[in-house]
Amino acid sequence: MTNVAIVGTQWGDEGKGKVVDLLSEKADLVVRFQGGNNAGHTLVVGDQTFALHTVPSGILWPGKMSVVASGVVVDPEDLIKEIMSLTARGVVITPDNLKISEKAHMILPYHRLLDAARESAQDGQKIGTTGRGIGPAYEDKASRVGLRLGDLRSEETLLSRIRLALKEKNCLFQHLYGVPTLKAEDLVKRVMVWREKLWPFLANTALIVQKAQKAGQKILFEGAQGVQLDIDHGSYPYVTSSNPTTGAVAVGAGLAPRDLENVLGLVKAYSSRVGEGPFPTELTDDLGQRIREIGHEFGATTGRPRRCGWLDAVSVRQAVDLCGVDRLAITKLDVLAGLGELKIATHYELNGHWLDYVPADCQDLAKCRPVYKTFPGFPANVGSARSLEDLPKEARRYIELIEELIGRPAALISVGPEREQTIILHEYF
């Protein structure tokens, strides 16, 4: 019996898509447990590139069950498009290999409108969201005015619940944001079209996960975003509205916390962040620009350029402790080849004191200056390395230093986007 959760230890975009894909090959179940279509997991399979948003990465492997569990917020319209575009490219998606939780909350058009209206309001509250309505959907879930996919069961219930939700939303649209209001009846018509397409996929996914766990099947929990964006532990308010930490595996997928066996923490060899918020190791100079270009650091969901910087061991250490990470997947090592001298932040300096932890207050974090360890870079291309011995000695030293500073061994090192561009040091399944 074995399962493993994959979590991003930074601000998302650590290259989870490729790593989940690698592990999916041997898994029986691949489960998304939080977030929504704000995620963009890029996978390169042969000569094809896929960017998945809500559908778990396991879908690309025949014979696997992919599960969208109840902790995920689902934009039905977007999910239907994603399923159709994958199907058009030859990916087999049926109610037998994709199960979506009937308890998952829906992202409705008014959530996207509200997200956009807030982000464009000039009141200093801009978060730099993906604009997918994620925050407003989770808000409605917590306020108990949300609609779950299971509510597609009854047109009557839908109408009364959408009317209830729109009472407040339309007031905001009309009086606060000056945007057109929505009509419940129109929305219900739109929603009923989704019902036809999605109903066959709906299931009580917690039961599926628990049954698989009891049967000793191999389960992969696919985290989205990264721990630094966690609504409780990230740089609030510049965070997403879910918990990308492993605690959310239990709640979001319906697995007892003590049943989670392994946690693989994704660490990109440098850092990137998209959206607003403090980023102590950010490089705003030409080097940051070079890393962005070499690493193709543009959002898979929104296409926005990502802010880039050195690896921040202080925040990754925090993520490792919060998530119980036992091993690391170090990704995009190849991007640093040929850049010259490399740096990793080992501490922060705040008001003359050295910190080895991330301060809770976002304004304090914004004042932190990174304390760096500097060492020689590694030459040329590392993309053909398939073992540690194939790497230049400086690159090996870089890996060792990450392991030392973070206190966990590497399970794999990714040296390029292709599946085979991977140094495997530990097998989970």
Q: Which two tokens stand for residue 304?
A: 């926005």
Is residue 94 within 8 Å of 86, Cβ to Cβ?
no
Residue of the chain from 129, 205, 318, 421 that contacts ligand IMP (CB under 6 A) = 129
Question: What are 69's two structure tokens?
Answer: 């569990």
- Taking CB under 6 A as the criterion, the residue among 66, 70, 213, 225 binding ligand IMP is 225
The minimum distance between CB 290 and ligand IMP, in angstroms, equals 21
Residues 239-298 that bind ligand IMP (CB under 6 A): 240-241, 274-275
Residue 124: which residues within 8 A CB-CB, separation 6 or more?
none
Closest separation in Å from C-beta 140 to ligand IMP: 14
Q: Which is nearer to ligand IMP, 40 or 254 (CB)?
A: 40
Give me the count of residues in the chain.
429
Could you say whether residue 224 binds ligand IMP (CB under 6 A)? yes
Nearer to ligand IMP, 225 or 414 (CB): 225
Round to whole Å and give the CA distance between 151 and 167: 19
Q: How far, CA to CA in Å, does 424 sit from each of 42, 87, 174, 191, 388?
A: 20, 31, 56, 45, 9
Of 20, 60, 114, 134, the one binding ligand IMP (CB under 6 A) is: 134
CB-CB contact of 236 with 362 (8 Å): yes
Q: Which member of 45, 116, 127, 251 binds ligand IMP (CB under 6 A)?
A: 127
- If the CB atoms of residues 127 and 355 are measured against ligand IMP, the closer one turns out to be 127
Instruction: Cis check for the bond before 417: say yes or no (omega within 30 of 0).
Output: no
SS3 310: coil
String of contacts with ligand IMP for each residue 2-31, x by CB under 6 A: ---------xxx------------------
Q: Is the dihedral of CA 274, 278, 280, 283 positive or negative?
A: positive
* Residue 158, token pair as written in the block: 């839908």
Q: Tell me if 331 contacts ligand IMP by CB under 6 A.
A: no
DSSP H or E segment with residue 342: strand 342-350
Query: Looking at 84-92, 96-104, 124-132, 395-403, which segment touches ligand IMP (CB under 6 A)?
Result: 124-132
Task: Identify the residue among 4, 39, 333, 399 touching ligand IMP (CB under 6 A).
Answer: 39
The least CB distance from residue 377 to ligand IMP, in Å, is 26
Helix (H) or strand (E) holding 185: helix 184-198
In the complex, minimum distance from the CB of residue 124 to ligand IMP, in angstroms, rounded to a whole number: 16
Contact range with ligand IMP by CB under 6 A, out of 32-40, 83-91, 104-112, 140-148: 32-40
State yes or no: residue 234 binds ligand IMP (CB under 6 A).
no
Q: Give the integer Cα–Cα distance in Å for 298 and 35.
A: 19
At 338, the amino acid letter reads G
So which residues are the catalytic ones?
Answer: 13, 41
C-beta of 373: minimal distance to ligand IMP in Å?
26
Nearer to ligand IMP, 237 or 376 (CB): 237
Q: Which is nearer to ligand IMP, 206 or 362 (CB)?
A: 362
Is residue 140 close enough to count as binding ligand IMP by CB under 6 A?
no
**Please, what is the Cα angle at 42 between 39 and 48, to 5 degrees?**
145
* Cβ-proximal residue to ligand IMP, closest one: 275
Instruction: Give the shortest CB-313-to-ligand IMP separation in angstroms.
Output: 20
Binding mask 44-73 for ligand IMP (x = CB under 6 A): ------------------------------
Residue 135 engages ligand IMP in binding (rule: CB under 6 A): yes
Distance CA 116, CA 131 (A): 6
What are the contacts of 360-366 at 24+ separation with CB within 8 A? 362/235, 362/236, 362/237, 362/238, 362/277, 362/278, 365/235, 365/278, 365/280, 366/278
Nearest approach in angstroms of CB 130 to ligand IMP is: 3
The dihedral through the CA atoms of 268, 272, 274, 280 has a sign that is positive
- 42 binds ligand IMP per the rule CB under 6 A: no
Contact residues toward ligand IMP (CB under 6 A) are 11-13, 38-40, 127-130, 132, 134-135, 224-225, 229, 240-241, 274-275
